């Protein structure tokens, strides 16, 4: 019987296999940031160990960094960033610090440099490592103990998860984006639907997505509980990679592409689980609750808790969010709009926002945060920043920003946002903050009206 | 890692589903570079509510958390495990766990115990009826016992052995350094480096 994409990549990386033990997997790329690495480096020092492959490791500063120019004001954040700098210097790891042209959100810079390539294993002490699966890489988030393990050995012991196919047939209707698609998928299968699985996104609608759209989809695999999300590489993938700083060149490029073409699920391979979705039935999608599975089409209404699959959780969510059942989602007023993050902080996302904001004015505080300094430079070369500032939005420096409450960009208690990030958990964007997850286009339209709005309704 | 064989202690029922790691330890606590002191951040936002179950004095000193399904979803932060352990928990019982949280727990010696949802609810009810109920989590026998009840749970042999012995994964992997080197010598030359 044939093999799935996930099985092929897994098998290619088995260093050691023994009965009754997890496989020992080789890791091709280890991404590091300041939050989940300090205790791992301490562990190496205590045990007198080195980093086995600093040349397969890269670090950036993203979670704690302010997105306005200037030093880090919070002494605790500053100490964490300085700890990363010391560790990178001591262990010989390439670091892109604040202010560096290569700095950015860890999952934006890997693909940007061409370091993320098909068929690789990629790990990072961050759950959104699943982003890199968009290239047909096997990429997953790990905790600090595993970060230390990879630093010391360049391997990880792991059992192969089950496989799940999410088949997305048809075409996304005009105005419906990759973010709407993944929010709809999570609402369908639930926050635990992918647990224990590597998901492969397949089908016509997936093939039709750009690399940036594919990254948005794979990024949120973890919000459906999946260990990883993958998309088979194709011409779109190869064209994205061609010419990037760390992509192969010459004969090596040809050899790599020949191998990459083999990275597809065989026709006679079987998945443990199959989910089918018809893209043509989808519409702009937003969340109303406090987990990413609590979402609905923007044209709908806040649900009645008793009519949901988990009434107690839905009621708790409505209480926290300050919402009443039956309220049309498009009548929910927002105080702040956030565009950015590893989910939607790439150039294509910023173009979508600019398209909506051009010639309009925002009615709510709007933060537009590029995912990397390179994205910032590219956006400015196209003049997008002028569109944003003319509309009254704030154009910031690169970082994780308002995706999580670790830097100065946070919501005040009770403040409500439309956010292109990935988590609407209680307090995620600041204690007491209320988050509605949306696509970049819906974020921009919501900024204009001050309530959750689809661009088509402007 | 601290070894885990059998633990007996009182339980706390946490009747909420989808308890994500942002709730277990909010992000502001992740700025620390040490491995200690995270117990103060455990469920920090929820503990501000006097009615939150951990604030109920009858559960003071409990060491087995009995949670709703999908416990530990979301962020990969191992700080969630550290916070639970440093607060005094030795095991978490739930019907389903987030994969990364469960993995992190087994690396640190916090035992994640999967039981059917009805069994978890029965255990929660038993604890609510009598908070002095002693709960035994027996990894050797793969069993949770309370009162006259007993429920078996599954855990793979290798992880169980590692937990029973308190073994460190890195030390185990370094025994196979030769295999790693052999693998490295066969890697494709086009694969990127960061230099």
The predicted pLDDT at position B1 comes to 83
Q: How many CB atoms lie within 10 A of CB B179?
A: 17
A280 in any annotated domain: no
Evaluated on CA atoms A304, A308, A313, A314, the torsion sign reads negative
HSE, CB side, 13 Å, CA atoms: give it for residue A56: 24
Calculate ∠ Cα A117-A120-A125, nearest 5°: 100
Least Cα distance to A55 among A94, A107, A112 occurs for: A94
In this structure, what token pair is assigned to residue A29? 């790329």
Residue B41: pLDDT band with limits 50, 70, 90: very high
Residue A416 has pLDDT above 90, yes or no: yes
What CATH number should be reported for the domain holding residue A142?
A: 3.30.499.10
Residue A270 has pLDDT above 90, yes or no: yes
Residue B90: pLDDT band with limits 50, 70, 90: very high
The predicted pLDDT at position A89 comes to 98
How far, in Å, CA of A247 to CA of A238, rounded?
10
Is A372 strand, coil or helix?
strand
Say if residue A400 carries a ligand binding annotation: yes
Residue A77 has pLDDT above 90, yes or no: yes
Q: Do residues A245 and A325 both lie within one domain?
A: no
CA nearest A37 in B: which residue? B33
The predicted pLDDT at position B164 comes to 97
A279 in any annotated domain: no
**A22 contacts B23? CB cut-off 8 A:** no
Least Cα distance to B99 among A133, A38, A160, A424 occurs for: A160
Of residues A115, A153, A406, nearest to B170 (C-beta): A153
Q: Is B167 on the interface with A (CB under 8 A)?
A: no
Q: What is the rounded radius of gyration, in angstroms, for the C-alpha atoms of chain A?
A: 21
Q: How many CB atoms lie within 10 A of CB A308?
A: 17
The predicted pLDDT at position A151 comes to 98
> What percent of chain A has pLDDT above 90?
100
How far, in Å, CA of A283 to CA of A338, rounded?
21
CATH topology for B6-168? Aconitase; domain 4 (3.20.19)
How far, in Å, CA of A222 to CA of A173, rounded?
25
The predicted pLDDT at position A267 comes to 97
Of residues B30, B107, B193, nearest to A146 (C-beta): B107
**A259 contacts B31? CB cut-off 8 A:** no
How far, in Å, CA of A446 to CA of A287, rounded?
14
Q: Do residues A103 and A154 both lie within one domain?
A: yes
Q: Do residues A259 and A357 both lie within one domain?
A: no
Q: Do residues A265 and A291 both lie within one domain?
A: no
Note the pLDDT tens digit of each residue in A127-181: 999 999 999 999 999 999 999 999 999 999 999 999 999 999 999 999 999 999 9
Question: Which residues lie below 8 Å from residue B66, measured CB to CB, with a gap of 6+?
Answer: B11, B12, B13, B14, B92, B93, B94, B120, B123, B124, B127, B135
In this structure, what token pair is assigned to residue A211? 């690399």
Q: Do residues A349 and A405 both lie within one domain?
A: yes
Query: What DSSP string describes A359-410?
Result: T---SSEEEE--SBHHHHHHHHHTTHHHHHHHHT-EE--SS-GGGSTTSS--
Residue A1: pLDDT band with limits 50, 70, 90: confident
Query: What DSSP string describes A294-330?
Result: -EEETTSBPPPGGGSS-HHHHHHHHHHHT--TT-BGG
Q: Do residues A61 and A132 both lie within one domain?
A: yes
A149 in any annotated domain: yes
How far, in Å, CA of B61 to CA of B12, rounded?
9
Q: Do residues A175 and A297 both lie within one domain?
A: no
Residue A282 has pLDDT above 90, yes or no: yes
Question: Which residues lie below 8 Å from residue A139, measured CB to CB, with a gap of 6+?
Answer: A116, A120, A121, A122, A123, A124, A129, A130, A131, A132, A133, A218, A228
Q: Do residues A423 and A396 both lie within one domain?
A: yes
Residue A321 has pLDDT above 90, yes or no: yes
Residue A286 has pLDDT above 90, yes or no: yes
Whole-Å CA distances, A208 to A176, A317, A458:
13, 35, 26
Of residues B15, B22, B156, nearest to A425 (C-beta): B22
Instruction: Please state the ipTM of this predicted complex.
Output: 0.97
How far, in Å, CA of A353 to CA of A190, rounded?
28
The predicted pLDDT at position A431 comes to 96
Inter-residue contact A382 to A351 (CB < 8 Å):
yes
Residue A236 has pLDDT above 90, yes or no: yes
Tokens 């926290």 belong to which residue? A320
Q: Do residues A191 and A297 both lie within one domain?
A: no
The predicted pLDDT at position A369 comes to 98
Q: Do residues A144 and A179 both lie within one domain?
A: yes
Query: How much helix, strand and coil, in percent to the nearest 5, is found in chain B?
Result: 40, 20, 40
Is B111 strand, coil or helix?
strand
Tokens 């890997």 belong to which residue? A110
**B192 contacts A114? CB cut-off 8 A:** yes
Q: Do residues A192 and A307 both lie within one domain?
A: no
**B176 contacts A225? CB cut-off 8 A:** no
**A256 contacts B188? CB cut-off 8 A:** yes
How far, in Å, CA of A337 to CA of A351, rounded?
16
Contacts of A252 in chain B (CB under 8 A): 189-190
Structural domains counted in chain A: 2
Stretch B6-33: mean pLDDT: 97
Stretch A9-16: mean pLDDT: 98
Residues 272-291, chain A, touching B (beta carbon < 8 A): 291
Note the pLDDT tens digit of each residue in A184-207: 999 999 999 999 999 999 999 999
The predicted pLDDT at position B2 comes to 82
Q: Do residues A268 and A235 both lie within one domain?
A: yes
Note the pLDDT tens digit of each residue in A27-49: 999 999 999 999 999 999 999 99
Domain endpoint, select from A243, A273, A303: A273
Say if residue A403 carries a ligand binding annotation: yes
Inter-residue contact A346 to A108 (CB < 8 Å):
yes
Domain endpoint, select from A213, A239, A273: A273
Stretch A214-228: mean pLDDT: 98
DSSP A75: H
Of residues B98, B107, B177, nearest to A225 (C-beta): B98
Note down the domain range covering A49: 5-273
Stretch A368-374: mean pLDDT: 98
Average pLDDT, chain A: 98
The predicted pLDDT at position B44 comes to 97
Is A289 strand, coil or helix?
coil
Stretch A426-450: mean pLDDT: 98
Q: How many CB atoms lie within 10 A of CB B192?
A: 23
């Amino acid at each position: 019987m044939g093999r799935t994409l996930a099985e092929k990549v897994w098998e290619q990386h088995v260093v050691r296999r023994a009965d009754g033990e997890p496989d020992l997997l080789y890791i091709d790329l280890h991404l590091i940031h300041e939050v989940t690495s300090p205790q791992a480096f301490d562990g190496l020092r205590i045990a007198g160990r080195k980093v086995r492959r600093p040349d397969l490791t890269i670090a950036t500063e993203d979670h704690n960094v302010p997105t306005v120019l200037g030093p880090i004001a919070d002494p605790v954040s500053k100490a964490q960033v300085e700890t990363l700098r010391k560790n990178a210097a001591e262990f010989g790891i390439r670091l892109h610090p604040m202010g560096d042209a290569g700095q950015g959100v860890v999952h934006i810079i890997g693909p940007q440099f061409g370091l993320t390539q098909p068929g690789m294993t990629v790990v990072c002490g961050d759950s959104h490592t699943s982003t890199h699966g968009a290239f047909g890489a096997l990429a997953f988030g790990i905790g600090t103990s595993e970060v230390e393990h990879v630093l010391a050995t360049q391997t990880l012991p792991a059992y192969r998860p089950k496989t799940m196919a999410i088949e997305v047939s048809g075409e996304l209707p005009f105005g419906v984006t990759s973010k709407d698609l993944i929010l709809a998928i999570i609402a369908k299968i639930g926050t635990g639907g992918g647990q224990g699985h590597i998901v492969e996104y397949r089908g016509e609608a997936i093939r039709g997505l750009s690399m940036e759209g594919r990254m948005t989809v794979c990024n949120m695999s973890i919000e459906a509980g999946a260990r990883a999300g993958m998309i088979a590489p194709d011409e779109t993938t190869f064209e994205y990679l061609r010419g990037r700083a760390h992509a192969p060149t010459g004969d090596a490029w040809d050899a790599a592409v020949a191998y990459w073409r083999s990275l597809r699920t065989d026709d006679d391979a079987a998945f443990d689980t199959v989910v089918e979705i018809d893209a043509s039935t989808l519409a702009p999608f937003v969340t109303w609750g406090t987990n990413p599975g609590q979402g609905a089409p923007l044209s709908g209404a806040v649900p009645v808790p008793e009519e949901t699959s988990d009434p107690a959780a839905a009621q708790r969510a409505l209480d926290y969010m300050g919402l009443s059942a039956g309220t049309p989602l498009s009548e929910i007023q927002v105080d702040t709009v956030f565009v950015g993050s590893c989910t939607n902080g790439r150039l294509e996302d910023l173009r979508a926002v600019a398209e909506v904001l051009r010639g309009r004015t925002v009615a709510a505080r709007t933060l537009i945060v590029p995912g990397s300094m390179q994205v910032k430079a590219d956006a400015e070369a196209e003049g997008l920043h002028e569109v944003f500032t003319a509309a009254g939005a704030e154009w910031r420096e690169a970082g994780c920003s308002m995706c999580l409450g670790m830097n100065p960009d946070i919501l005040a208690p009770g403040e409500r946002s439309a956010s292109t990030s990935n988590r609407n958990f209680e307090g995620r964007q600041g204690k007491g903050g209320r988050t509605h997850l949306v696509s970049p286009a819906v974020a921009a339209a919501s900024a204009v009206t001050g309530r959750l709005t689809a661009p088509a309704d402007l | 890692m601290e070894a885990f064989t059998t633990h007996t202690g009182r339980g706390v029922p946490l009747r909420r589903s989808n308890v994500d790691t942002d709730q277990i330890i909010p992000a502001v606590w992740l700025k620390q570079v040490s491995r200690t002191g995270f117990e103060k951040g455990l469920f920090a936002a929820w503990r501000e509510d006097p009615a939150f179950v951990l604030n109920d004095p009858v559960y003071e000193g409990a060491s087995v958390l009995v949670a709703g399904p999908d416990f530990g979803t979301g962020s990969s932060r191992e700080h969630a495990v550290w916070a639970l352990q440093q607060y005094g928990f030795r095991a978490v019982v739930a019907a389903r766990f987030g994969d990364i949280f469960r993995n992190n727990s087994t690396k640190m010696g916090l035992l994640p115990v999967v039981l059917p949802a009805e069994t978890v609810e029965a255990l929660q009810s038993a604890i609510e009826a009598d908070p002095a109920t002693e709960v035994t989590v027996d990894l050797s026998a793969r069993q949770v016992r309370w009162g006259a009840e007993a429920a078996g749970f599954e855990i793979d042999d290798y992880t169980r052995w590692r937990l029973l012995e308190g073994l460190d994964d890195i030390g185990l992997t370094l025994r196979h350094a030769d295999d790693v080197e052999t693998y490295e010598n066969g890697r494709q030359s086009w694969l990127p480096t960061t230099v």
